[in-house]
Structure formats: structure tokens, C-alpha cells
Chains A and B, each alone.
Chain A
Amino acid sequence: MTVAVDVRDLRKQYTMGETVLDVLRGVDLTIEHGEVVCVMGPSGSGKSTLLNIVGGLDRPSGGAVVVDGDDLAAMDDERLADYRRHQVGFVFQSFNLIPTLSALGNVELPLVFAGVARADRAVQAASALESVGLGLRLDHKPTELSGGEQQRVAVARAVVNGPAIILADEPTGNLDTTTGHEILELIKAMNAEGRTFLITTHDRAVAEAVAHRIVYIIDGSVVKIEQGGVA
């Protein structure tokens, strides 16, 4: 397997007035193509910050994050937007769909910013929605969909660009157990097709269900890496 993401000595500090907060204190982590890695830890441990930095939504204070050979720390805003457009996909705890756009419109959005032609875009977005089981709900607005269905739309949106890695921040956090389980099954199915995931969770059952490896973070440091249930 080849390396998808290489995180080296990653540090992140937040300055709040006089106090300096060390959120990440030198994290090392390698994720290989086709792997599902879960990051576990209590709230405030820095797991979401790690995810956001790998996703190019936040910037590191030190260290390196190399995705498919490109170091994120060296990218300017424009290049970082380009990186988010093509190399990562996000799935959020609270779905984060645009309420005025249909399911298809939401999935098309990354392709709009990538400049994909309208006809190609519709085909790609529809096929992504089909792959998450929503082929018949293309024209539904988010408010007309259940929580589980909304999260499926978000997954379809995350994969439609064919990214190197999909980042999911507590993807089942807002869902009941059954629906959450369905989303995990979806992630497993997509991983079986070769997609790479980095998932944060504080729920051990979630990590056990989908992860090849589970990374434990406490106070900004990796304390333990163990094999997940899928390995």
C-alpha cells in the first residue's frame, strides 16, 4: 500500500489572550491508501483539530502534513482551496448541507467550484447519490430528508470529486444507533471500493466497526495506536 497522508510532528497552538493553548503537541501519523483510521479521544483532546488541519480548513503551527506528496503547510489560501476541491472530502457531524439546494445540487456543489460542465456534473452527482442509496431522492431538499438520508447526501458530496481521503468528524454523532450503523456500513462499503477514511469519534463501538487502526489522542499527543475491528 502507498501512503495517502503523512503527518509529521504536527503542532497546533491557539493563543487566547495571555495563555497559549497547545492543542496538538507533535503528532505523527501515517495513513495508507485504502485504509480507515479512527481517531479517538475525549472532547478537547485535539482530534477535530487534527482532522481540520489534514482537511486544509486549519493551518498547523509546526510540523508537516503531506498528502499525495504535497505539503499543506506550504500552500497559500488559493492553493489550499484547490486542495479541498480536489483531494479531500468532508463529512460533518451536523451534515452541513445547503438548505436551499436539492440533494443533487448539494452533491454538485464541489464540482461547480471545480469548474466541471453542467451535464458531466449532473451525471457524476447522480451516480454518487445512487452509490449511497439515494438514487430516487435527487430532487429532495435537505428538510425533506431524514437525518440518515442527509448524512448520505453529505457522504455522496464528499466522494463526488474522487478525493485522496475522506475526513469524517463524528459522522454518526447526530444519528440514532440504527441510522448510525447504516452510515458505518456505507463507509465500509466505500472503503471496500478502495476509498481512504480518517474518522474522529469518541464512541469505541464506531471505531471497532469500521477502523483498520485506532489512534488514541489525549491532550494533543498520540498515546496509543491499536488494530481496529476490520484489520
Chain B
Amino acid sequence: MRPRDLIFLVVSNLRRMKLRLALTTLGVVIGTSAIVLMVSLGVGLQRSVVDSLGELGAATHITVMTGYEGITGAESKSLDDRTVAQFEDMEHVDSVMPIVTVMSVQELAYKKNSTNANIQGVAPHKLEEFGYKLAEGRFARTDSEIVLGAAVPAMFLGVFPGSETANQPSLDLLGKRIVATVVEYPSEEAYAQNPMTEPTERTYKLTVVGILEKADMGTDSSVYTTLDAALEYNGATTRRPTYETVTVKADSAEAVADIEKALVAEGFQTFSARSIQDATSQIFIIVQVVLGALGGIAMIVAALGIANTMTMSIYERTREIGIMKAVGASNRQIKRVFLGEAAVIGVFGGLGGLAFSSAGAALANLFLQSMIAASTPTGGASEPTNFFYIPLWLAIFAVAFATGIGLLSGVLPAVRAANLDPLVALRHE
């Protein structure tokens, strides 16, 4: 029997049970939709969560901090130039950027506006190496020059990252002079001798020479100065500085996990957007499987529907099966005809379910987005989140799965039809 004739036989058989076919297919449509909607919700949530985790930093960057004995069990280590050199020698490490976080700055002021953005001391050429991009201006050359994160000018006006509006006011700070007030608190010894010792204040005049492009949230809200300037603000006196954090750049995002493992084994604490994304993705795989399994219950009911329809239709067509056998149909050919019918129900149900769930997902997204837009003042500014997201693999899987369920449900009835005794079948009324 030729494939085309098989299709013809299958289609002409299905055509005479239109209502039953429609109802059975509807069952598969519902089953497929349930699975697709459930899994797409898991995928959509995963995407929005993982995407927002991308705000934590670039995919190849690892932030290294000094470890605590209590956590790692290893000896606490400090981050200094020697450790930086060690990190640079590690496999898959592109570059290492030591950072001095200024603890003592009280305030940054421009005319009447002020803010208390985080000041980070970093070698300017390292910023370039680590992919920090300038929106305008240049990187610092002297200790009195600073580069601002993209969100800092707005912070002078009291607008913080994440609460931007579409048409917010901004300050043009490029080339402007900013006054940093550094507060030095008395040391513990000085305090012990005289509890009345006052903190001392120093001010520095700094020139804004560059403004960075928008990046992750931490970068956007930071001000970058040179390593030496930051050490000075912190009142460091030693020639062997230690760093609060060191950023390690891996040569690929895939190498991040291995480097992190090695650093943790050395007794450091690490943090990377990549490893958090990986861990989160793993959790979401479980969420998707659980949601998919819930949707699968509807599919099991649909499968029973197909098996029932096929069993009924084979019973009604017993005599025809006898005729087909008498004119030379083999058991295998009979089996194929009925399996084909079950598979077609699966394909139609899968395609219908995909169409239905795509429309449902789109509607649900619109509804949820408008709810969110209505309840948050900045709703229109950021990109709308798709809570239901149907990736291509899910679409293909849904149709293939429905077809597979159709075939599987048809196996028993088809085998029964194929094994009918032709004489018994011919006598069937």
C-alpha cells in the first residue's frame, strides 16, 4: 500500500465520523493547551527572572571577596597584589580587576544637588578591559578625575535606578566639578583615649571626564575613580593595599563555574550573575516539569478519549475490516490504517492545542501587563514582561507529543482490528 493511499483511506474513514472526530480532537486540544500553557508559564517566569538576574553583572565576570572561615572552612585569605597575580595565572582567566570600595565618602555634591553614590577605585585601563563602555567623555587619567555610572546624574536629582520614568529630568555633568566630602572617623584607640574625639572631614574637588553606558544596576549607580585616589580617601597608609573585592573576567561564560569552584576551594567567596542564573535555571526546570505534569493529566484523559473513539469505530467497522482482509489487506496494513487515524487525531489536536494556547498566552500576557501597568507608576518605561512564553522547542514538542499520544492510544485498538479473524469479521452485523 502506498503512503498516499494510506492517507486517503485514513482521511475518508475520519470524514464519516466528523462529530466524534471533532469531540475527540477537542480533548487533545485541551490536553495540549494545558501542557503548553503550564510549561510556557514556567518558561516565561524563568526568562523574566533569569533576565533580571543579568542585571547583576556581565556573564563572564566573577566577583571575588575575602572568605569567612565559618562558611568555607578554609583559612581566611586577604585580597592583595599577590593574590591578584595568582588569579591572573589561573586557567581561562582573561584579566583581573582589583577594586577598592571607598567606605568613608559621606556625600557627593554638585551645586545644590547631592547624592551618596558608591565610589569604586579601579585602574582606568582595567575598566576598558572589562568592557565598561563610555556613553560620552573618556576614562580618568589623574586622581582627581572621575567617571560616572549611567544612572548617577539622575541620582543627583533623587531618581534611583529602577524607578526611572520615561521623561525624567537629567543633569549634564560632563566636565563639571563635583565636591566629595570624606569623613574619617577616629580609630578605636583614639576613641578609647578620648570618646569625645570628633570625626574629621576632608573635601576633594573632582572633575567628571566620562559617563558610562547603561550596564548592570551596580555599575550604573557607581562612581569610578583611580585606585590611588580611593586608597587615599580610605586613609590607607600601607604600601601593600588590600582590596575589598576583585573582579575576575573569564574567557567565556562557560568557564565561569569552574573558575568559581577553584576560587572557593582556595577559600574565597565568589559571586557571579552566571552562576546565579544557572542555579535559578535548574530550579525552573523542576518547576516546568511539575507544571507540565499537571497539564499532562488532561492529556491522559484525552488519550483515553482517543482509545475509546478508536475502539468504537473499529467495532462498528468490523465487517469492513473483514472485507478489506478478504480482498488482500494484510494485518500490518489494517494496523496502519487505524494507527493513522489515531495519529491524525493527535496531529490535529496538537496543532489546535498549539494555536489555542498561543492565543491564550498572548491574551494572558496582555491582561497581566495591563494590570501591572495600572498598578505601577513606571509601568510604561521598562520592557513588558511575557509571563507566558512559548519557545520553538515547546511548540514542536507539543505537536510531536500529541501525535505520539494519538499513536500510542491507537495501538491497542489497531492491534485488535488487525488480529480479527476475517471470517468472524465478515459475519459481523
B319 touches A96 (CB 8 A): yes
**Which stretch, A29-37, A114-122, A174-182, A206-214, touches the partner chain B?**
A114-122
Chain A residues in 8 Å Cβ range of B16: 100
Residues of A26-65 whose CB lies within 8 A of B: 52, 55, 57-58
- Compute how far the CA of A57 lies from the CA of B327 in the bound complex, rounded to whole angstroms: 10
**Which stretch, B4-12, B115-123, B160-168, B375-383, touches the partner chain A?**
B4-12
- Count residues of chain B with CB under 8 A from any CB of chain A: 25
A118 touches B5 (CB 8 A): yes
Among B324, B326, B330: residue with most chain A CB under 10 A:
B326
- Compute how far the CA of A170 lies from the CA of B363 in the bound complex, rounded to whole angstroms: 66
A11 in contact (CB, < 8 A): no
A192 in contact (CB, < 8 A): no
- Compute how far the CA of A52 lies from the CA of B328 in the bound complex, rounded to whole angstroms: 14
B328 touches A96 (CB 8 A): no
A96 touches B323 (CB 8 A): yes
Least Cβ–Cβ distance between B263 and chain A, in angstroms:
67
Least Cβ–Cβ distance between B415 and chain A, in angstroms:
13
- Compute how far the CA of A77 lies from the CA of B334 in the bound complex, rounded to whole angstroms: 13
- Compute how far the CA of A110 lies from the CA of B319 in the bound complex, rounded to whole angstroms: 16
Chain A residues in 8 Å Cβ range of B12: 100-101
- Compute how far the CA of A118 lies from the CA of B323 in the bound complex, rounded to whole angstroms: 20
A110 touches B327 (CB 8 A): yes
Q: A100-B12, A100-B16 are in contact. Are A90 and B5 (CB under 8 A)?
A: no
Q: A113-B1, A113-B333 are in contact. Are A84 and B423 (CB under 8 A)?
A: no
Least Cβ–Cβ distance between B13 and chain A, in angstroms:
8
Q: A109-B324, A112-B5 are in contact. Are A57 and B330 (CB under 8 A)?
A: no
- Compute how far the CA of A110 lies from the CA of B333 in the bound complex, rounded to whole angstroms: 12
B54 in contact (CB, < 8 A): no
A112 touches B1 (CB 8 A): yes
Residues of A59-95 whose CB lies within 8 A of B: 77-78, 81-82, 84-86, 90, 92
Chain B residues in 8 Å Cβ range of A101: 12
Chain B residues in 8 Å Cβ range of A81: 325, 328-331, 333
A118 touches B320 (CB 8 A): no
- Compute how far the CA of A101 lies from the CA of B11 in the bound complex, rounded to whole angstroms: 12
- Compute how far the CA of A52 lies from the CA of B325 in the bound complex, rounded to whole angstroms: 12
Chain A residues in 8 Å Cβ range of B422: 57
Chain A residues in 8 Å Cβ range of B5: 112, 118
Chain A residues in 8 Å Cβ range of B112: none
Chain A residues in 8 Å Cβ range of B111: none
B2 in contact (CB, < 8 A): yes
Least Cβ–Cβ distance between B2 and chain A, in angstroms:
6
B326 touches A90 (CB 8 A): yes
Q: A98-B323, A100-B16 are in contact. Are A117 and B2 (CB under 8 A)?
A: yes
Chain B residues in 8 Å Cβ range of A55: 326
- Compute how far the CA of A71 lies from the CA of B328 in the bound complex, rounded to whole angstroms: 17
B328 touches A84 (CB 8 A): yes
- Compute how far the CA of A77 lies from the CA of B331 in the bound complex, rounded to whole angstroms: 8
Q: Which among B1, B9, B324, B328 is the interface contact of A86 at CB below 8 angstroms?
A: B328
Residues of A124-144 whose CB lies within 8 A of B: none
Name the residue on B nearest A109 (C-beta): B327
Chain B residues in 8 Å Cβ range of A157: 327
B331 touches A96 (CB 8 A): no
Name the residue on B nearest A169 (C-beta): B426
Q: A115-B2, A117-B2, A118-B5 are in contact. Are A82 and B326 (CB under 8 A)?
A: no
Q: Which among A100, A113, A117 is the interface contact of B328 at CB below 8 angstroms?
A: A113
- What are 22 pairs between A and B in contact, CB < 8 Å? A55-B326, A57-B325, A57-B422, A81-B325, A81-B328, A81-B329, A81-B330, A85-B327, A96-B319, A96-B426, A98-B323, A98-B324, A100-B13, A101-B12, A112-B5, A113-B1, A113-B324, A113-B329, A114-B328, A115-B1, A115-B2, A118-B5
Residues of chain B whose beta carbon lies under 8 Å from any beta carbon of chain A: 1-2, 4-5, 9, 12-13, 16, 319-320, 322-333, 422-423, 426
Q: A57-B325, A112-B9 are in contact. List 15 more A-B contacts (CB 8 A).
A: A57-B326, A77-B330, A78-B330, A78-B331, A78-B332, A82-B330, A84-B327, A92-B326, A96-B426, A101-B12, A109-B327, A110-B328, A113-B327, A118-B2, A157-B327
